[in-house]
Amino acid sequence: MSRCPPSCNFVHSFLEDGEFVQITVEDEGRVTGFVSRYGDGASDKGAFLDQYFKSGKLDGNKLTFITETVHAVWFEFNGTVERGEGKNPRDEAYYVLKGTLIENSSDGAKKVSSHAHEVVLKMFPKKARS
């Protein structure tokens, strides 16, 4: 993943079925992207939310990103990009993101709570181009 031409995209699974994280690797290891997930708060339960990266970096195989806050929730990822069980670049899990995903939330009194998850996020298979 770190040896791709500028602006290559990768889409990986996220926490629940139907959720995903899209990562674009740009010049000098800069990473942009977003998390698309289902809301779980009282006001957004079941709604599909996009949370764009506030910052992101790929240094060798070390990946970090922090999302913007949406409905008082934001995510931080600190981990690695590794070869997965996929046999060729178009297979599911050709690359995986392994690391710690921290889900942060803030209540009305601005009190922040954080929950860390050890995750393995599998790359979605790429469709063949016609």
What is the β-pairing status of strands 73-83 and 62-67? antiparallel
Q: What is the pLDDT of residues 85-118, one digit of tens each?
A: 999 888 899 999 999 999 999 988 889 999 999 9
pLDDT by position in tens, the chain (length 130): 545 655 578 899 999 999 999 999 998 889 999 999 998 877 788 889 999 999 999 999 999 999 999 999 999 999 999 999 999 888 899 999 999 999 999 988 889 999 999 999 999 987 654 4
pTM as predicted: 0.87
Domain ranges of the chain: 8-122
User: Strands 112-122 and 31-38, how do they pair?
Assistant: unpaired
Q: How far apart are CA 68 and CA 34, in angstroms?
A: 9
- What superfamily does domain 8-122 belong to in CATH? Avidin-like (2.40.128.30)
